């Protein structure tokens, strides 16, 4: 599994990943919500990714900050 990204693991677990263009983020935001929290990924213009693993509370707080609906909407 060397070289496997957090996003690859989420996709392999068959968790939906939604893309968002958020007014409060300069990069494309990918959101995967699952039991106990979720993963927020920022896809930078150069193709690199920044990952944040979140608790339920942290996920909801960050999505609100970004202006993204909580709960996969």
Q: What is the pLDDT, as a whole number, of residue 73? A: 46
Q: What is the DSSP letter of 55?
A: E
Query: What CA dihedral angle connects 42, 45, 46 and 51, to 10 degrees?
Result: 0
Phi, psi of 8 (to 5 degrees): -60, -40
Tokens of 12: 């392999």
Per-residue model confidence (pLDDT) at position 59: 95
The domain locations on the chain are 6-66
Please state the φ and ψ torsions of residue 7, each to the nearest 5 degrees: -65, -40
pLDDT at 1: 52
Successive 10-residue mean pLDDT values, the chain, 73 residues: 81 92 93 94 95 95 91 58
| Cβ atoms of 6 and 39 closer than 8 Å | yes
pTM of the model: 0.85
């Amino acid at each position: 599994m060397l070289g496997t990204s957090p996003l690859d693991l989420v996709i392999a677990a068959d968790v939906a990943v939604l893309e968002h263009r958020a007014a409060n983020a300069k990069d494309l935001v990918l959101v995967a919500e699952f039991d106990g929290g979720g993963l927020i990924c920022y896809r930078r213009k150069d193709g690199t990714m920044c990952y944040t693993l979140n608790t339920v509370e942290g996920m909801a707080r960050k999505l609100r900050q970004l202006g993204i609906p909580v709960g996969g909407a």
